[in-house]
Amino acid sequence: MHLRSASNALQLTSGVLAMVAAPAIGTWSDRRGRKTPLLYTLSGFFIGIVFQLLATLTYEHICIYYWLFASELVVGLTGGMGYMFGVAITVVTDDSRNKLKPGTSTVPMRIGVASFLQSLGTLLGTLGTSMLAVQNPSSIDEPKYSYIKAALIQVSAGASAVIYTFFMVRETHFPHKDVYLYNRLEKQQSSPASPSNSAGIQVERTKSPLTWLRDNVSAIGEVLLQKRPGWTRCCLIMSLLLVMVEFLALDPSLLLLLLKRKPFSWSDKMFSYLSLLRGLLFSLGMVICPLIFMLFHCLGKDSLMIIIGIGASAVSYFMIAGAHTTEEIFLTTLFAIFCGAIGPAYRSFLPRMVPKDQTARLHTVCSLIMATCPMLSAAVFNSIYTASVEWWPGFAFFVGGILQVFVVIGQGCVHMLMRPQWLLEKSLKEQVMIHRLAVGSELSRNDGDIVLPSATVSDLPSGALEKQRRSSNPQ
C-alpha cells in the first residue's frame, strides 16, 4: 500500500466517522450527563493507542495498517480526539457556570487553567517525542525501541486518564429544562399549566438506531437555529463562522517551509527552539491574559480578549511575511502571549450564548470545525505558497494576516451587537439582587430573623419581562 494513499485513507476513515459520531455523543451528553460520554470517548482513545502499541510490537509479522485502521475506526466511532477535548472542556464549563451567568463577563480561571494544561500537555508530548527520536541509529533495533517507548508512554497516559475520570471526576450536569431567565419568566406569566406537564408524565417511544442517530445529529441544528434574546442567535452563528475563518488562516507547516529556505536556512534544531518558545508563551498567555483582565471592570471581557488575541496573531503574520532575518522571526514570538488568550476567551464567550443543556452540542460544532478546517487550510495555503514562493515566499502569511483582520472586524461587530444584551442582562441581575434584599429585609422585620431566600424566577418584578422585550431586538 502506498504510504500517501494509506495515510489519506486512515485520515478519511477517522474524520468521516467522527463527523457522524460526535454530534450523537454531544446530544447524549446534553441529555444524559457528562461523565459517561467522557468515559466513552476516553475509552475509545485508549483502545486506539493500544492498537498503535500493538502495531509497533508486531510490525515484523503483521502489516501495521491493519492495526492503524482499527485504531482510527475506534477513535472515530467515539467522536475523535477533537471531541474528546471538547467534552472534557464541557465539564470544566459546567463547573464554571456561576461565572458564565447573564450579567457577568469575567473569563473563569478554571477555563484558563484547563486550556493551559491542554496546551502544555501537547507541548510536552511533542518535546518528549523529539527526545525519544533516534537521529543516527547505530543498529536497526534502536528506532524500534524508540517507537515502543513512545507508545508505552502514550498507553500509560491514556490509562491514567480513564482511571482518573472514573474515580475522581464528578458528574456536573443533571439534565433538566435549563433555558434563559426571560423564557422561564414568559412561560410562568403567559403559559397555562397543562395536566400532562403538571403530572410530570412523559411517554417515550422506542426508536430504531437509525432514527435515534438522525435525531441526535439533527439536534445540533437546534443549537444554531433556536430563537434567542436580541442578536444572540445571529452573533452565535457569526462567531462560529469567525472561528472557522481563524482556523483556515492557521497552518503551522507553512512556517517550517518558509524557514527551511533562504535567507533563513534553519536547521531542525533551530526550528524546535522556536516551536518550544512559542508554545510555552502561548500556554502562559492562557492564564496570564484572564488574570490581567480581572483587574478591569467592563462588559464583554472575553470578547475583548478574542479581539486582542487575534489582532496580535494578525500582526505576527504580517511580520513573518516581511521578515528577512532570524531575529525578526523570534521577535514574533512575543505576540504568542496575547494569542494564548484566544482559546479560553472563546471557551468562555460561546457558552454564555447557550443554556447549560446545549453546551456539549456547541462544543461539538467547535470540534468539527477544528477537525475539518486544518485540512482545508493545508490545501489552500500550500497552493498559495507554491504559486508565490519565487516572488514572495511570505505571501501566504500575508493572506493569513488579512483573513485574521477580517476576523477582528467581525468580532468587533459581534461585540457591538451583543453589548445592549449584556447591559440588559446586567440590569436584570441587579433587579434580582435588589428584590432579593428587599424580600429578606421584609422577612427580617416580620420574623425578627435575617433570612435571605435564594433568588427565584418569580421574585422579579412583573414589568421586567416587558422591559426586556421593548429593549431588545429579537430575531
CB 355 within 8 A of CB 233: no
In this structure, the dihedral spanned by the alpha carbons of residues 266, 269, 274 and 275, taken in order and rounded to 10 degrees, is 120
Q: Is residue 204 part of a domain?
A: no
Q: Is residue 164 part of a domain?
A: yes
Q: For 352-407, how does the pLDDT look when each residue is reduced to its tens digit (9 = 90+)?
A: 889 888 899 999 898 888 888 877 888 888 888 888 888 998 899 999 999 999 99
Q: What is the model's pLDDT at position 464?
A: 47
Q: Is residue 157 part of a domain?
A: yes
Residue 331 structural domain: 3-174+215-421
Q: Is residue 13 part of a domain?
A: yes
Cis amide bond preceding 461, omega within 30:
no
337 Cβ contact list (under 8 Å, min separation 6): 281, 282, 284, 285, 288, 289
Q: For 39-56, how does the pLDDT look when each residue is reduced to its tens digit (9 = 90+)?
A: 999 999 999 999 999 998
Q: For 134-181, how does the pLDDT look when each residue is reduced to its tens digit (9 = 90+)?
A: 777 777 777 778 888 888 999 999 999 999 999 999 888 888 654 444
Domains held by the chain: number: 1
CATH number at residue 256: 1.20.1250.20
Between CA 445 and CA 146 the distance in angstroms is 75
Between CA 217 and CA 364 the distance in angstroms is 10
Q: Is residue 467 part of a domain?
A: no
pTM reported for the whole predicted model? 0.81
Q: Is residue 65 part of a domain?
A: yes
Q: Is residue 253 part of a domain?
A: yes
Q: Is residue 328 part of a domain?
A: yes
